[in-house]
Amino acid sequence: MSPNYGPRPGEATVDLIVLHSISLPPGQYGGDEVQRLFTNQLDWDQHPYFKSIRGMEVSAHFYIRRNGDLLQFVSVNDRAWHAGTSAYRGRSNCNDDSIGIELEGLEGECFEGGQYETLAALCAAILQSHPVAHIAGHEHVAPGRKTDPGTGFNWSFLQQSLGLAARFFPAEVLP
């Protein structure tokens, strides 16, 4: 579990899933650096890139490895610290009413089949337990500041896997 979370505001309705991508160091996969970042145990001196993120306290509800393995860091009932300064569907502060899912990857690069399978199953389970009306990328809730999951993410595949109408997704991601 991550210590980087807090309570949701009392009036919050979880109706948004925010998809992210992350790898530490960028473009390197398979290590435990992301887990250590989310649990405040990352050795900032282990890699030169880590100096640029030193002291960050971030988390996500879920993390999906390249091989499809799923890890949970924060309860969906709590507010994970994943979106930062954000706004979507006429509301600011997306952390208040969203579930954040990190995919091991790099924005603009492709993701693996096992990740999509796990993501689709996870989103389907979330849709059963929460009134989700929107699924967006970090790039959509923090435009100009974030670019993940990026052009390598296959939104059409996720839409088809979930059997959801286009209205659930940002207009620009579906043909």
Q: Which residues are catalytic?
A: 102
Helices (H), the chain: 33-38, 113-129, 138-141, 155-162
Q: How many residues does the chain have?
A: 175
Distance from C-alpha of 162 to C-alpha of 134, rounded to nearest angstrom: 12
Angle at 87 (CA atoms; ends 83, 92), nearest 5 degrees: 95
Compute the distance between CA of residue 146 and CA of residue 148 in angstroms, rounded to an integer. Answer: 6
